[in-house]
Amino acid sequence: MKRQDFGGYKLEEVIGGGMYTKVYRAHSALARPIYGDTVAIKILYLKGSFRERAKLISQFEREAEIATGLNHPNIVKVYNFGKYHNQYAIIMEYVNGTNLKEMLYQKNKLPLNVLIKILYEAGQGLAHIHKNNIVHKDVKPDNILVSEDLAVVKMTDFGIAKLPGRLWQKDIFPKGGTVTKYGTISYVATEQAQGNANFYSDIYSFGVTIDEVITAKVEVPDEPEKNQEDYFRRIDMRSYRKNTGKQAILCEDLKIPSELKEIIRKATRQEPFLRYQSMDELLLELKKFL
């Protein structure tokens, strides 16, 4: 793509994106750039009919408006958004690292306490989102950014987020959410799949995320061969057992504290009223492992 100027920033390489968007790293050569030297810029690529394009623009602008109103160390900060050179763009904070899903694919394993710290910080971001009356609806490792030194953890992507109780702001994607290829892992709670997403749905998705991260990435003490297993070897058979009702959670057979397994079980109960009733409640339990 031709390098273009977006609010004083020039696009560099692609660092993420989805079906209709691409996220670029962007740099400013100005002596005093308004948002710092480096930012991330998310650009909307319009496809389909006029009606479909209008829907995409509406959702993109709404995503930006939601994120702009959030200010928390564990949420990617959106600085500005608008139309630049006839393209819709969001200018946001750049995190020098990768998303948590990409980390799971890397072969090296991490100690349990390091993984819990990452998950706890992501959970703090989600708790802040809920306190602002927002349902994220797409909580998963892909939407958790982690810096190279693991010191920075931030929730991102409000593309299908929902604002409960605001009748004039319709949920454009009521059944939106992520089910991975072949149904290996679904982050979508039953009520969300039926079009009734709520805070408990996000808690369910976060519980699935904890389960996946620990199963794929935890370092197994005194068993070096297990620490060489790739993501798919760790996940495939366990997800098959879970999806066929043979075990409740992916990490059921791993040597991790039983109290931690119970946190995951409670967060991922099928019935919303049996789950944690707030992210703060879940985080209080998770904090015991830090």
Q: Just list the catalytic residues.
A: 138
Residues 6+ apart with CB under 8 A from 177: 137, 138, 160, 186, 187, 188, 192, 193, 197, 201, 205
Question: Within 10 A of 267 (CB to CB), how many other CB atoms are there?
Answer: 26
SS3 letters for 67-80?
Answer: HHCCCCCCECCEEE
Distances (CA, A) of 214 to 7, 88, 106: 40, 37, 13
* Angstrom distance (rounded) from CA 55 to CA 171: 11
Return the closest-CA partner of residue 43 out of 3, 76, 75, 72.
Answer: 3
Q: Which residue has the tokens 């990617």?
A: 76
